[in-house]
């Protein structure tokens, strides 16, 4: 799968990113580029700083130092709610859906950045609002079709099983029609079959929808199946970067997961 | 059991799910128009109160039920609306204009209060809005040149463009028309992006932000709209009571308003009407029941607040969806008869409830 050339344009550039919480250095001077059209994966043991990097990109946290540039724009100047309009959508590690709304409503909320109607038009449900609602539904319906959610379309999220909620969250991020999709542990809590589906979807998202994917993932089978490049982190430090196979066999990565061999023991 | 087959997006956007439902609402509309000719003037004026309270409940429902922000100060917005109307009506403004002004002023006060208050959450927001209510109460009592101080202001009959409302029936129709328009506006909003943004902010601020919805802005919009709607109700309230005094707009009144939306059912437009009807009917029912109760209970002071409290606790424990939830269950029972199961609406456990990034 790692056939993409090395000369492609960087869509997201993270330069010397550091995140300090009090005395804790969660991310220390990490740099990487995500190229347009690739699937780029962050791996690393718990507490390596993967989700922290995600939260820095989506501006939930302010980075302590370093720059994050997306499509030539410095994200430091943007606030949390302006990120989606730039074309970055994300999912969360512990599913953050709108629990008391239906699947359809959740996806429609994903279309929010594409809305152009004004409050007074909405109060009278002007024709412009009606047209926009129909257009929203058309694009949302495509996502529902793509991820096979038709069965759950009008179900409330609060009553859905975990695996489905995970897909709904992916669907909501796709409804934004992003250029870059951040997936925070897309396979966590899913069974083998569901993980398999997820792998196919990530593959299709990249190939058919042309969306660049940056993800955090623990399941190495999934990682090697879909990723073009992998970045390994340990305790906030960059350990290795390369193709999935390269990174998996990197001594630093093995050490990070399994620890160093203790000298003097047979 | 009815299955609605949707073949066009327009069906999703309509006000009614299907033709039969539309027919029921049409029947309700006819009944509401006819009913004042069948009831005594006293009952008609009680119905008018239900309508006015429904408007208040709609406003508060938007804020608490849909945006998830609590307010213990909504009586203050009712006061702003009522006093604005009292002053402007005395100056001879026609009712639609003065009511619009009442809404505008209440909305403006809502923005001014809401912007700082909405930086805090939950119980702190409750305290902040309660403080605001007490301040407004004080201002009404002290600013005698405008508000008439503790004795308040007399309000003339509702008048517009040469028509003066002189009886209960006229007042009822004005309230009915206003309530219908406000309901339509609220329902329109809820099926538009802004209404969904409110729900998003209620359910998860963090993912609302990641979907491009600034929580602070939408909370302020919700607060302003909620205040404006309450202001509209205030304008009607002033004419209905024909007098406005500071002690009609205390924190207790605010609590009663919050009770309406909780008992009615948070997060449903129907709930606003159910809650308002409940809050008006219950004291009447208690008054009637008093005569039949043993004097030790019937004559006890604080019977009404105690009962209100008990009912509120009961609803929170056993029917968090309020009267609306009851209504849905009853309706489903008959629709599915005889296949209704007891566990049909049982709330399922939310597995792996997220630790919110707050």
DSSP string, B238-300: HHHHSEE-GGGSSHHHHHHHHHHHHHH-TT-HHHHHHHHHHHHHHHHHHHHHHTTS-HHHHT-
The partner residue sitting opposite A101, judged by closest CB among B203, B215, B356, is B203
pLDDT at B355 over 70: no
CB A22 within 8 A of CB A15: no
pLDDT at A121 over 50: yes
More confident residue, A136 or B146: A136
* Partner A contacted by B219 (CB < 8 A): no
Residue A65 dihedral angles phi and psi, to the nearest 5°: -155, 165
Cα separation, B310 vs B298, in Å, equals 16
Contacting residues for A216 by C-beta, under 8 A, at least 6 apart: A41, A42, A43, A50, A51, A54, A93, A183, A184, A185
Could you tell me the CATH number of the domain that includes residue A144? 3.40.50.300
Residue B162 dihedral angles phi and psi, to the nearest 5°: 85, 0
Residue A27 covered by a domain: yes
pLDDT at residue A5 in the model = 44
pLDDT at residue B283 in the model = 84
Task: Look at strands A88-90 and A180-184 and give their pairing.
Answer: parallel
Residues on chain B touching A55 (C-beta within 8 angstroms): 357
pLDDT at residue B121 in the model = 82
Share of chain B above pLDDT 70, in %: 95
DSSP H or E stretch at residue B350? none
- Asked whether residue A120 falls in the same domain as residue A163, the answer is yes
CB A91 within 8 A of CB A173: yes
Cα separation, A100 vs B199, in Å, equals 8
Task: Look at strands B243-244 and A65-70 and give their pairing.
Answer: unpaired
- Asked whether residue A72 falls in the same domain as residue A149, the answer is no
**What is the three-class DSSP state of B154?**
strand
The partner residue sitting opposite A122, judged by closest CB among B9, B193, B354, is B193
- Asked whether residue A262 falls in the same domain as residue A235, the answer is yes
pLDDT at A29 over 60: yes
Contact A96/B267, CB-based, under 8 Å? no
Instruction: Determine how many CB atoms are found less than 10 A away from the CB of residue A48.
Output: 23
Angle at B192 between CA B191 and CA B193, to 5 degrees: 130
Cα distances (Å, whole numbers) of residue B44 to A170, B49, B51, B279: 53, 9, 11, 16
pLDDT at A175 over 90: yes
Cα separation, B236 vs B145, in Å, equals 23
pLDDT at residue A256 in the model = 84
Spell out the alpha helix ranges (H) of B118-214: 122-142, 144-147, 168-190, 193-203, 205-210
Residue A173 covered by a domain: yes
Cα separation, B43 vs B24, in Å, equals 24
Q: Is the dihedral of CA B321, B322, B324, B329 positive or negative?
A: positive
pLDDT category at B193 given cuts 50, 70, 90 is very high
- Asked whether residue A155 falls in the same domain as residue A128, the answer is yes
pLDDT at A138 over 70: yes
Nearest Cα to Cα of residue B133 among B256, B47, B26 = B256
Between chain A and chain B, the number of residue pairs with CB atoms below 8 A apart is 128
The partner residue sitting opposite B357, judged by closest CB among A60, A83, A108, is A60
Give B222's strand partners. none
Tens of pLDDT, residue by residue over A63-89, are 888 899 999 889 888 889 999 999 999
Mutate to test the interface with B, among A55, A86, A111, A119 (most CBs of B within 10 A): A119
Which range among B54-63, B96-105, B155-164, B218-227 shows the weakest confidence by mean pLDDT?
A: B155-164
pLDDT category at A40 given cuts 50, 70, 90 is very high
What's the domain range around A243?
8-87+179-186+214-266
Residues on chain B touching A98 (C-beta within 8 angstroms): 199-200, 202-204, 207-208
Q: Name the burial class of residue B161, with classes exposed (0-12), middle (13-18) and buried (19+) by CB atoms within 10 angstroms of its CB.
A: exposed
Given A154, A177, A200, the domain boundary residue is A177
Nearest Cα to Cα of residue A224 among A245, A238, A207 = A245
Mean of the per-residue pLDDT values for chain A?
88
Rounded to a whole number of angstroms, the distance from the CA of B173 to the nearest CA of chain A is 22
Residue A134 covered by a domain: yes
More confident residue, A7 or A183: A183
- Asked whether residue A172 falls in the same domain as residue A223, the answer is no
Contact B200/A129, CB-based, under 8 Å? no
- Asked whether residue A130 falls in the same domain as residue A112, the answer is yes
Give A17's strand partners. A30
Give A41's strand partners. A215, A230
Cα separation, B274 vs B45, in Å, equals 17
**DSSP conformational letter for B122:** H
Contact A94/B354, CB-based, under 8 Å? yes
CB B197 within 8 A of CB B65: no
Alpha carbon B38 to chain centroid, angstroms: 26
Which range among B3-7, B70-74, B216-220 shows the weakest confidence by mean pLDDT?
A: B3-7
Tens of pLDDT, residue by residue over B30-48, are 999 999 999 888 999 999 9
Tens of pLDDT, residue by residue over A97-110, are 998 899 999 999 99
- Asked whether residue A31 falls in the same domain as residue A64, the answer is yes
Q: Is the dihedral of CA B290, B295, B298, B302 positive or negative?
A: positive
pLDDT category at B98 given cuts 50, 70, 90 is very high
Rounded to a whole number of angstroms, the distance from the CA of A59 to the nearest CA of chain B is 9
pLDDT at A180 over 90: yes
**ipTM of the complex model:** 0.88
pLDDT category at A2 given cuts 50, 70, 90 is very low
Contact A95/B188, CB-based, under 8 Å? no
Given A177, A205, A232, the domain boundary residue is A177
b/e code B118-137 from CB counts within 10 Å (16+ = b): beeeeeebbebbbebbeebb
Rounded to a whole number of angstroms, the distance from the CA of B186 to the nearest CA of chain A is 7
pLDDT at residue B272 in the model = 92
b/e code B204-237 from CB counts within 10 Å (16+ = b): bbbbbbbbbbbbeebbbbbbbbbbbbbbbbbbbb
Residue A209 covered by a domain: no
Mean of the per-residue pLDDT values for chain B?
86
Among all residues of chain B, which has the CA nearest to that of A159? B348
Residue A82 covered by a domain: yes
* Tokens 């709610």 -> residue: A81
Residue A43 covered by a domain: yes
Domains of chain B and CATH, by start: 38-343 (1.10.3470)
pLDDT at A1 over 50: no
**B168 φ/ψ sector (left φ>0, alpha ψ -120 to 50, else beta):** alpha
Contact B193/A112, CB-based, under 8 Å? yes
pLDDT category at A262 given cuts 50, 70, 90 is low
User: Domain total for chain A?
Assistant: 2
């Amino acid at each position: 799968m790692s056939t993409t050339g090395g000369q492609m344009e960087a869509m997201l550039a993270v330069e010397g990113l550091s995140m300090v919480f009090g005395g804790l250095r969660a991310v220390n001077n990490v740099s990487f580029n995500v190229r347009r059209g690739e699937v780029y994966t962050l791996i690393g043991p718990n507490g390596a700083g993967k989700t922290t990097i995600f939260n820095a990109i989506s501006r939930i946290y302010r980075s302590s130092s370093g720059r994050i540039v997306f499509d030539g724009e410095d994200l430091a100047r943007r606030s949390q709610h302006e990120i989606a309009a730039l074309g970055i959508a994300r999912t969360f590690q512990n599913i953050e859906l709108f629990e008391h709304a239906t699947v359809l409503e959740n996806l429609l909320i994903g279309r929010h950045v594409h809305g152009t109607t004004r409050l007074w038009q909405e109060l009278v449900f002007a024709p412009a609002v009606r047209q926009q609602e129909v257009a929203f539904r058309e694009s949302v319906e495509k996502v529902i079709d793509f991820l096979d959610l038709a069965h759950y379309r009008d179900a409330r999220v609060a009553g859905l099983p975990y695996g489905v909620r995970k897909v709904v969250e992916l669907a909501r991020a796709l409804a934004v029609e992003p250029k870059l999709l951040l997936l925070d542990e897309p396979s966590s809590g899913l069974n083998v079959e569901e993980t398999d589906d997820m792998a196919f979807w990530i593959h299709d998202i990249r190939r058919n929808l042309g969306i660049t994917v940056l993800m955090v993932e623990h399941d190495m089978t999934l990682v090697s199946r879909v990723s073009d490049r992998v970045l390994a982190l340990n305790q906030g430090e960059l350990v290795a970067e390369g193709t999935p196979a390269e990174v998996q066999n990197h001594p630093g990565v093995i050490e990070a997961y399994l620890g160093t061999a203790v000298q003097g023991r047979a | 059991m009815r299955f609605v087959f949707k073949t066009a997006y327009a069906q999703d956007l309509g006000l009614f799910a299907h033709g039969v439902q539309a027919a029921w609402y049409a029947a309700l509309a006819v009944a509401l128009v006819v009913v004042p000719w069948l009831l005594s003037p006293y009952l008609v004026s009680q119905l008018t109160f239900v309508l006015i309270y429904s408007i208040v409940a709609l406003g508060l429902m938007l804020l608490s039920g849909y945006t998830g922000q609590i307010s213990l100060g909504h009586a203050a917005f009712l006061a702003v609306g009522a006093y604005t109307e009292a002053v402007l009506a005395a100056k001879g403004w026609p009712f639609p204009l003065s009511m619009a002004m009442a809404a505008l002023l209440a909305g403006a006060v809502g923005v001014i209060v809401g912007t700082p208050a909405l930086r805090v959450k939950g119980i702190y927001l409750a305290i902040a809005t309660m403080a605001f209510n007490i301040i407004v109460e004080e201002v009404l009592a002290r600013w005698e040149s405008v508000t008439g101080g503790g004795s308040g202001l007399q309000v003339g009959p509702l008048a517009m463009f040469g028509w003066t409302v002189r009886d209960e029936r006229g007042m009822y129709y004005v309230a009915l028309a206003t309530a219908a328009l406000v309901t339509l506006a609220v329902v329109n909003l809820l099926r538009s992006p802004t209404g969904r943004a409110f729900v998003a902010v209620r359910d998860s601020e963090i993912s609302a932000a990641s979907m491009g919805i600034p929580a602070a802005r939408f909370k302020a919009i919700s607060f302003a709209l909620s205040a404006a709607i309450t202001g509209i109700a205030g304008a009607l309230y002033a004419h209905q009571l024909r007098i406005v005094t500071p002690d009609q707009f205390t924190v207790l009144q605010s609590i009663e308003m919050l009770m309406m939306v909780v008992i009615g059912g948070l997060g449903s437009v129907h709930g606003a009407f159910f809650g308002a009807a409940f809050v008006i009917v219950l004291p009447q029912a208690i008054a009637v029941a008093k005569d039949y109760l043993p004097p030790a209970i019937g004559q006890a002071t604080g019977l009404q607040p105690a009962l209100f409290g008990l009912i509120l606790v009961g609803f929170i424990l056993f029917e968090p969806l309020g009267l609306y939830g009851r209504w849905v269950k009853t309706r489903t029972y008959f629709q599915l008869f005889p296949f209704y199961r007891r566990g049909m609406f049982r709330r399922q456990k939310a597995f792996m409830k997220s630790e919110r990034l707050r």
